[in-house]
Structure 1
Amino acid sequence: MEINLVSDTVTRPNQEMLQAMFHAKVGDDVFKQDPTVNEFETKVAHLFGMEAALFFPSGTMANQTAIKLHTNPGDQIICDKWTHIHLYESGGASSNSGVNFNLLDGERGIITAEQVEEGINDPNFYHMPLSKLVCIENTTNKGGGACYELEELHKIKRVCVKHNLKYHLDGARLWNAMVAKNQSPNQYGELFDSISVCFSKGLGCPVGSVLLSDKETIVRALRVRKIFGGNMRQSGYLAAAGIYALENNIAKLADDHRRARELESKLASCSWIEKVEPVETNIIVFTPKSFVSDAVVIEKLKQKNIHISLLGKGKLRIVTHLDYKEVMHTYVLEVLEKMSF
């Protein structure tokens, strides 16, 4: 039994999702003639109370499209130093849009309205780039699945309005945040100028993210997606998986969160663990004590057919997901309890 806890991107469609994909009605989405894609985009937009949506092959492309739509070359993005668009999108913001970053020193990837206000450049001081876009990541990946409070997001929104800044949400794991905090999609839809949501992580789809915004912005996004090479043809087969996930898999995220909390508790009781970050959703970040090598921990778990990932600087990561079943969970807890160094 191989147990892959490297990421929640490792999930595979179950038989019911595969059947939904197999029976999908498809057309050519480049001409906007794929009925299942059109249905999927409409469903997601309606769910968030936003005007329009566009299906993308990846969350990175959706984020990069939003950046290009909201900025001009030479502009500046304000975000946390750990945000995905800065660390893990291969320099796309500078390569695709010619923008730079003002990286704020948040707490576990979470920034405050006060920090955003202080990070805005004076638009009349032409020696500095124009602040144009604030990007939020919820949940925070490198922050160990931490979630923003809606109150703080509203405060940041007021700062954006005051200074005429656009407001984008990288919601790669937004579904997890909403389940953990008992929030609704339209609470986010009313806040942000654009939102990207991923379907190939916690919701178990093989491919895909959706970008949400107003109609005019999504029409412009069509052109940017084309420029980035993101047009797909009979992508209704993939969109059908997204529709199935919306209807069947969101509530299951609560099980991922419960198992993550139980892993947090087990790790905290281990004598060889220095620190475990507080768990809110499905990501557990922990640090072994100084006499324990990261590589040794990973190898010991690998020998037990358990695979986890290294975040660097002494931090290891476990991510629970749809394909991590209770029998696997029981086994992992037993292995952790018996591990010694």
Structure 2
Amino acid sequence: MIDLRSDTVTRPSLGMRRAMAEAEVGDDVYREDPTVNSLEERTAELLGHEAGLFCPSGSMTNMLGIAAQVPRGWEVLAESQAHILRAECGGHAALAGVTSRTWVSADGTFDASQALSLVSRPRGYNQVGTAVVSVENTHNFGGGRIADFEQLSILRSRTRELGVRVHVDGARLPNASAATGISLCEYGRLADSVSLCLSKGLGAPVGSVLVGSTDLVEEARSLRKRYGGGMRQAGILAAAGLWALGHNVGRVAEDNAGASAIAHRIAEVDPTVVDPQTVETNIVFLDLSSTGLDAEAFAASAEAAGVRVSVMGETSVRIVTHLDISADDVRRAGEVLARCVSENA
């Protein structure tokens, strides 16, 4: 079975497992786990920030990064399909009292002017103030689109003038870096906080790291404990993240290429289903509205032929390539999915 539901389905390699087994550990709540400390320092350095905080998930690093910068009752601005609002169980509102407003991107790309037009600076007792603008890079539900670096630079410059912070949900930021050639550090410096996921394209079994200033991370560390995220001998997990940073950052370009290849094969059969030009990283969205198929039926047909995909709506399917997918898997998946489209077109 070729599993293209998500890049979260990857399994640790033998080298990663060995690193985990041999990890030096201590109590991380006491800040005595040397492997966790190394991972936090390495990630902060990689993204151009002062400090890092290792957490179990990207949802937690997003929530901590935003909660540490948004006073209760203030707001975060984000795109309408942002992961922080659509796929984190309402945690920002439920746990931190953070409100939100959204702009809409028709194609998953980022336009700084849309975000900036929503920024609110309170002028009266009844107005909500904007504390943070959150940008997802790459944009998961936007089809893996990359936030344009120039637009991010504009956002950074203007928000500084306005006294507003920038958070980047960089769960798949390495995929953006691989596609553009822009370093993680260059991307990282355009935000006050960045969440980097280790368990997607980088292949670790669990974990994300929040980076930012020393003060921001100290506040986030306190909140992590409040949210139940304090870990003890977490070096076993952090070792997987260190191994991933050392071995898997560069190779995500292969995942981007695999997604593009699958999209091109499907487009050969029916160009209305996917435009390969919009596939910038390792995520492909298929629009089945013109085929007469609903997404559930399409997914069942694909799985019967050996390929798993995610149903994202009545006529929407998501495909995500990752390090457990070989070049042969890409070719076979492309053929299977193209056949599923052609048989019902």
How many residues are paired up?
340
- Flag structure 1 segments of 5+ consecutive residues without an equivalent: none
Q: Deviations over 1:89-122 (max 9, x none)?
A: 1011111111211110124333322222210124
State the TM-score, normalized to the length of structure 1.
0.96
Q: Alignment partner of 2:286: what SS?
A: strand
Counting only pairs closer than 5 Å after superposition, residues 240-279 of structure 1 correspond to structure 2 as 240-271=239-270, 273-276=272-275, 278-279=278-279
Report the CA distance between 1:272 and its aligned residue.
8.6
Q: Alignment partner of 2:312: what SS?
A: strand
Counting only pairs closer than 5 Å after superposition, residues 1-341 of structure 1 correspond to structure 2 as 2-271=1-270, 273-276=272-275, 278-288=278-288, 289-339=290-340, 340-341=343-344
Question: For the residues of structure 1 that align with 2:79 and 2:177, how far apart are their CA atoms?
Answer: 21
CA contact (8 A) 1:178 1:185 kept: yes
Percent sequence identity over aligned pairs: 37
Q: Is the deviation greater in 106-115 or in 35-44?
A: 106-115
Q: Alignment partner of 1:168: what SS?
A: strand
CA contact (8 A) 1:80 1:110 kept: no
Q: Deviations over 1:54-101 (max 9, x none)?
A: 100000001101111111111011111011111111011111111211
CA contact (8 A) 1:79 1:111 kept: no
Question: For the residues of structure 2 that align with 1:46 and 1:239, how far apart are their CA atoms?
Answer: 16
Question: For the residues of structure 1 that align with 2:339 and 2:115, how far apart are their CA atoms?
Answer: 46
Question: For the residues of structure 2 that align with 1:153 and 1:271, how far apart are their CA atoms?
Answer: 34
Q: Is the deviation greater in 63-72 or in 269-278?
A: 269-278
Q: Is the deviation greater in 72-81 or in 327-336?
A: 327-336
- Flag structure 2 segments of 5+ consecutive residues without an equivalent: none
State the TM-score, normalized to the length of structure 2.
0.95
CA contact (8 A) 1:81 1:109 kept: no
Letter in 2 for 1:92: G
CA contact (8 A) 1:145 1:283 kept: yes
Report the CA distance between 1:329 and its aligned residue.
1.7
Question: For the residues of structure 1 that align with 2:185 and 2:103, how far apart are their CA atoms?
Answer: 27
Q: Alignment partner of 1:94: what SS?
A: helix
Q: Is the deviation greater in 118-127 or in 204-213?
A: 118-127
Report the CA distance between 1:171 and its aligned residue.
0.4
CA contact (8 A) 1:75 1:131 kept: yes
CA contact (8 A) 2:26 2:235 kept: yes
CA RMSD of aligned residues (A): 1.4
Letter in 2 for 1:91: G
Letter in 2 for 1:110: T
Letter in 2 for 1:281: T
CA contact (8 A) 1:83 1:109 kept: no
Report the CA distance between 1:273 and its aligned residue.
5.0
Report the CA distance between 1:290 and its aligned residue.
4.6
Query: For residues 107 and 126 of structure 1, do their structure 2 counterparts lie closer, same or farther at Cα, with a shift above 3 Å needed?
Result: farther
